[in-house]
Amino acid sequence: MDIFLQQVINGLVQGSIYALVALGYTMVYGIIELVNFAHGEVVMVGALVSLSVIERLVSRGYTGWPLIVISVLVAIPTCIALGLGIERVAYRPLRRAPRLAPLISAIGVSIALQQIAALIWGRNYLHYPDILPKTQYLIGGAVISQVQVVILLSAAVLMAALWVLVQRTRLGRAMRATAQNPAVAGLMGVDVNRIIATTFVVGSALAAVAGTLIGAYYQVGNHTMGFLLGLKAFTAAVLGGIGSLGGAMAGGLLLGVIENLGAGYMGKLTDGAVGSNYSDVFAFLMLVLVLIFRPSGLLGERGVEKV
């Protein structure tokens, strides 16, 4: 039983990172109906920028969580600038183009960012210095480390803050209005370009935090780390219902838990025929099933409304 609990805890930690990244996908999709395939690369840039900051400062005696906070404070503006730049250069000129055009442009940006990152940080695996305390807590036979607790808490706080921003503020109302109908929102005095840019700002800031957390958790970074992560987070967003904030959060957590339980128990269920390396397959299979039986996702709204 403790092993089961441990798999669930690890899944929730992994899932809360997916959820943070999935929010970036779902917000952009909700507002301009674009799958921003470059979002995973923004996370990667966030992770590598924070790694660079940590490496610079660790030799000057900074360490522990304060250093992580400093690095995330550098990563956030970098990612925001990057997100705004991508929106301005690759998506805004194509807003009235056929839907396929911005999708291709997004894939182009994604590849370009990977190669630029390879030029800056090299193609090899980079190691995050050991700076965080190794404290571990016991819950009912399972172990949870301080890093895992911080990841769960910060993801929860950020998601709550985002919820408040979208549901309770003027800006949030403008975002929801733009999502429902950009043209009418514009007529009502909403600056649609500014709202779309704000969406990218929020998504990129979350990506920066997610990148830093992934780095701190797995202690390894590489210019290709954003690709599979982006794909998983996108899956999480679709699983929960793309366009829906609650859906992205639920989808992320669910995907993380499914993956870990899949890797943990698939071998036993299939009598060794399918090994733990098939956990990704399992996750994507779930996606297919959800799309067949509930095309709008678990928490997505049924019907024609596009949010």
Binding residues for other proteins, per CB under 8 A?
Answer: 3, 6-7, 10, 14, 123-125, 127, 130, 134, 136, 143, 145, 148, 214, 218-220, 222, 224-225, 228, 259-261, 263-264, 267, 272, 275-277, 279-280
Asked if residue 10 lies in contact with residue 258, where contact means CB atoms within 8 angstroms, the answer is: no
- Per the structure block, which two tokens stand in for 169? 């503020």
Structure tokens that stand for 70 in this block: 């400093």
Whole-number minimum distance, CB 209 to other proteins, in Å? 18
> Considering the complex, what minimum distance in angstroms separates the CB of residue 217 from other proteins?
8
DSSP states of 184-251 = HHHHTT--HHHHHHHHHHHHHHHHHHHHHHHHHHH-EE-TTHHHHHHHHHHHHHHHH-TT-HHHHHHH
Task: Tell me if 290 sits within 8 A of 299, measured CB to CB.
Answer: no
Q: Which is nearer to other proteins, 9 or 86 (CB)?
A: 9
Of the pair 182, 215, the CB lying nearest other proteins is at 215
Question: Min. distance of Cβ 120 from other proteins in angstroms?
Answer: 14
* C-beta of 181 vs 276, nearer to other proteins: 276
Closest approach of Cβ 83 to other proteins, in Å?
24
Structure tokens at 208: 């920066």
C-beta separation of 169 from 198 below 8 A: no
Tell me the C-alpha distance between 182 and 162, whole Å: 21
| Cα gap 260→177, rounded to integer Å | 38
- Cβ nearer to other proteins, comparing 14 with 296: 14
* Least Å from the CB of residue 69 to other proteins: 22
Taking the C-alpha atoms of residue 71 and residue 12, their distance in angstroms, rounded to an integer, is 24
Choice between 18 and 91, CB closer to other proteins: 18
Query: Which of 84/261 has CB closer to other proteins?
Result: 261
What is the smallest separation between the CB atom of 64 and other proteins, expressed in angstroms?
Answer: 16
d(CA 110, CA 108): 5
Tracing tokens 């990612």 back to the chain, one arrives at 79
Smallest gap from Cβ 260 to other proteins, in A, equals 5
Q: Which is nearer to other proteins, 252 or 264 (CB)?
A: 264
As given in the structure block, the two tokens for residue 39 are 């979002």
